[in-house]
Amino acid sequence: MPPAPSPDPWRRRYRRNLAITDFFALVWVVYGTQLLWFGLGNAQVAAGSDSRISDLSYWVFSAIVIVTWMWSLSFVDSRSDRVIGTGSQEYVRIADSSFRLFGTIAIVAFLTQIDVARGYLLISLPAGILVLIFTRWMWRQWLVFQRSRGLSSASVLLVGSLPSVTHLAQEFARTPSAGYRVVGACVPNGKVADVIPGTSIPVMGQVGDVTRALQATGADTVAITSADDLPASKVKQISWSLEAGRQHLVLAPSIVDIAGPRLHTRPVAGLPLIHVETPKFSKGQSFLKRSVDLIAASVGVVLLSPLLLFLMAAVRLSSEGPIFFRQTRVGFRGREFTMIKFRSMVVDAEALLAQLAADDRDSGNEVLFKMKNDPRVTPIGRIMRKFSLDELPQLFNVIGGSMSLVGPRPPLPSEVAVYADHVHRRFLAKPGITGLWQVSGRSSLSWEESVRLDLSYVENWTLLGDFVILGKTARATLAPGETAA
């Protein structure tokens, strides 16, 4: 057996780099706030009436805040390789630990009657969180780039049935930013030197050869894709054989596109049961989402009014026909509504649709008609569609309540007529101006991918997720790629 490859210490280097930038970010924020609030003088933290505590210089107090802030970030494992690179957990832990730290400082100051300047704390906390999240985001972009080149990723050995191994390998290959690089697989009746069909992943033996496969591949993660061919004792044996702190065990359940607060692991009689809650759409969540939609859309209409007036004039002067294009779409709970857009096509575009759909054979989508270089699009319409400017009138749909800023794609009634039963779950949420479907590929997506993204959004909605999608939409609008149409 060839010697195992040396482990890549990228995790340790990455955590060290995060700690260094966290430290300099906090020094810049905390001491910057101190200088902004007190100037260069030697201001003192007054100890109040407690004679046991002497006055303390803010220069020293700021140093204490920085050290304890760094400790709180480490205490919640905000630099753990379990949360870096993807998802929102890294940012959530930063915000949570920061609020807890400043809450503790406020309680201690109240109990000991230490008079800490409120403005100093009120500026340091949000500024520190924003700067920390920004620096972490910058490091994440670097990490995503590294992972696109096959670097700075966990080396994964897949164990399970051939179909489940193939499926998970394809998912990991589709999203390299997740940080899982498959280096081998163990499948029932597997023969060394074979490969997983449709991939270049080598078969390292059968499911009982995991230990030897780990040594040969140097994998640091074992992902069990199905336990049908593995008794419980074998799974436990695999977990015991892994090197603590360097090798990890991952269990991949067959249920997909479920994440966030709906998943709960609860040990019952020694069994790590995964509980999947049904989607919850409480009145509080609906009120919060509606409030954000109404405020943001109203502010957007006011700020963008000069651009809206310019586009209205451009559409009117560039081609014959109305300024707005109105179309019936299906929205929340299957109710039909009229969606408004700037007209970007010729007047008889709907009449030409049937012939174009019959001629187009390369759309890659069985339900949605998508065509590059659509001849029905006007010159000004092509520019508007590239930068999504034709969607701006939908802000009035949001204000009216028929749409949301973020949500599933609003389908046509003709599309809904051919929906499979499970696709109707997308109507549990209001349709959106933008959504996962738009920031994840847009015109290049197949029908199955579009449905999967819409259902994933509905099943796992969070307000933070909406803000992330809006941020990605803004970036895609300013720098549209080939998928814009």
DSSP collapsed to 3 states, the chain: CCCCCCCCCHHHHHHHHHHHHHHHHHHHHHHHHHHHHHCCCCCEEECCCCCCCCCEEHHHHHHHHHHHHHHHHHHCCCCCCCCCCCCCHHHHHHHHHHHHHHHHHHHHHHHHCCECCHHHHHHHHHHHHHHHHHHHHHHHHHHHHHHHCCCCCEEEEEECCHHHHHHHHHHHHHCHHHCEEEEEEECCCCCCCCECCCCCCEECCCHHHHHHHHHHHCCCEEEECCCCCCCHHHHHHHHHHCCCCCCEEEECCCCCCCCHHHEEEEEECCEEEEEECCCCCCHHHHHHHHHHHHHHHHHHHHHCHHHHHHHHHHHHHHCCCCCEEEEEEECHHHCEEEEEEECCECCCHHHHHHHHHHHCCCCCCCCCCCCCCCCCECHHHHHHHHCCHHHCCHHHHHHHCCCEEECCCCCCHHHHCCCCHHHHHHHHCCCEEECHHHHCCHHHCCHHHHHHHHHHHHHCCCHHHHHHHHHHHHHHHHCCCCCCC
Q: To the nearest 10°, the Cα dihedral for 228, 232, 238, 243?
A: 130
- In the beta sheet, which residues pair with residue 340? 326
**Which pLDDT belongs to residue 121?**
87
Q: Are 245 and 447 in contact, with CB atoms under 8 Å apart?
A: no
Tokens found for residue 189? 């009746």
Q: Are 229 and 197 in contact, with CB atoms under 8 Å apart?
A: no
CA distances from 462 to 11, 63, 406 (A): 29, 36, 11
Return the CA Rg of the chain: 27
**Which pLDDT belongs to residue 25?**
96
Q: Which of 449, 314, 456 is nearest to 392 (CA)?
A: 314
Tell how strand 263-268 and strand 271-276 pair up.
Answer: antiparallel
What is d(CA 98, CA 132) in angstroms, rounded to the nearest whole number?
Answer: 10
**Which pLDDT belongs to residue 399?**
96
What is d(CA 76, CA 97) in angstroms, rounded to the nearest whole number?
Answer: 7
- In the beta sheet, which residues pair with residue 274? 265
Chain Cα centroid distance, residue 313: 38
What is d(CA 348, CA 282) in angstroms, rounded to the nearest whole number?
Answer: 43
**Which pLDDT belongs to residue 235?**
77
Q: Are 476 and 438 in contact, with CB atoms under 8 Å apart?
A: yes
Planar angle of CA 76, 77, 82, nearest 5 degrees: 135
Residues in the chain: 485
**Which pLDDT belongs to residue 1?**
46
**Which pLDDT belongs to residue 58?**
82
Planar angle of CA 176, 182, 186, nearest 5 degrees: 150
What is d(CA 372, CA 363) in angstroms, rounded to the nearest whole number?
Answer: 8
pTM of the model: 0.66
Tokens found for residue 97? 């630990």
Question: Letter for the amino acid at 256?
Answer: V
Backbone angles phi, psi at 154, to 5 degrees: -70, 135
- Residue 295: CA atoms inside 13 Å, Cβ hemisphere, count? 6
CA distances from 201 to 105, 170, 196, 251, 292 (A): 53, 11, 6, 19, 46
What is d(CA 432, CA 457) in angstroms, rounded to the nearest whole number?
Answer: 11
Planar angle of CA 333, 335, 337, nearest 5 degrees: 135
Backbone angles phi, psi at 418, to 5 degrees: -110, 10
Tell how strand 221-224 and strand 154-159 pair up.
Answer: parallel
The domains found in the chain, sorted by start residue, are: 10-148 (no CATH), 154-254 (3.40.50.720), 283-478 (no CATH)
Backbone angles phi, psi at 275, to 5 degrees: -95, 125
pLDDT tens digit at each of 485 positions of the chain: 444 455 568 888 999 999 999 999 999 999 999 888 887 766 776 565 544 445 568 888 899 999 999 999 999 999 988 888 877 789 989 999 999 999 999 898 888 777 788 888 899 999 999 999 999 999 999 999 998 888 888 899 998 888 888 888 888 888 888 888 999 998 888 888 788 888 888 888 888 888 888 888 888 888 888 766 677 777 777 787 787 767 888 887 766 656 555 666 666 666 667 766 666 667 878 888 999 999 999 999 999 999 999 999 999 988 888 999 999 999 998 999 999 999 988 876 666 666 665 555 555 455 555 556 677 788 888 889 888 899 999 999 999 999 999 999 898 898 888 888 878 888 888 999 998 877 876 656 677 778 888 888 887 788 888 888 898 888 877 776 555 55
210-217 vs 232-241: helix axis angle to the nearest 10? 30
**Which pLDDT belongs to residue 104?**
92
**Which residues touch 332 (CB under 8 Å, ≥6 apart)?**
402, 427, 429, 430, 431
**Which pLDDT belongs to residue 254?**
66
